[in-house]
Amino acid sequence: MASPVKQTRMSATERRELVLAAASRAFARDGYHGTSTDAVAREAGVSQPYVVRMFGSKSRLFADVFDRAMRRIMDTFEPHFDDVAADPENDESWLPMGIAYTELLEDRDLLLVMMHGFTSGANPEIGVLARDWMSRLYTQIRTRTGCSPEQARTFIANGMLLNTLLAMQVPEHAGQDPALEELAVCAFGNALDAAGSENASEIGDFRS
């Protein structure tokens, strides 16, 4: 007779991560206002009271999801700062950091959670969090690379353009509009086809 399979109990950290991953999918799909804690619970396969007990409120849950996304972005930049710092005036030194960011945006849930956070400035709790993360991102780039304010601004601005174009699914539909195609080619360069197939691995003009 076969021995019964022993069930492994999830730790509190693992359960929290499961709910955060489910919440990321739900918020990415329906936005902050269109997502309820009940929807997150269904996505995670747990009860709604369990989600509320764990996070307290929908705004607190979204804040944790947004924090999780932004930390992942900043961690992705970290290995490339020394190369930029060696010669911030050289456009080529910014290229690996731009490539790493573009590859990260293949995770559409992360991209859309970030966009929902940045466009929810009117919400007092989310707005202050989004502004704080933008400040931290700018400060991280400035202090870790020694670049000028203009170089940091340009890098972030190019990243925000890519975010917007990807959120609008412009790479997939660029061929339907000559003006959008021209903009997409300028923004993505050789990575346009890859971005359209959600498998970007190169970057065009994402540099200072």
Model pLDDT, residue 2: 56
**In 78-177, alpha helices (H):** 81-86, 91-104, 108-118, 124-145, 149-167, 170-173
Per DSSP, the residues of 40-85 read HHHHHTS-HHHHHHHHSSHHHHHHHHHHHHHHHHHHHHGGGHHHHH
User: What six digits make up the tokens of 57?
Assistant: 């409120």
Model pLDDT, residue 10: 78
Model pLDDT, residue 7: 55
User: What six digits make up the tokens of 158?
Assistant: 């190019």
Model pLDDT, residue 200: 37
Question: What 3-state DSSP class applies to 154?
Answer: helix
Model pLDDT, residue 79: 95
Parts of the chain with a pLDDT under 70:
1-8, 190-208
Per DSSP, the residues of 73-95 read HHHHHGGGHHHHHH-TT-HHHHH
Residues in the chain, overall count = 208
What is the dihedral sign for C-alpha 52, 54, 61, 109? negative
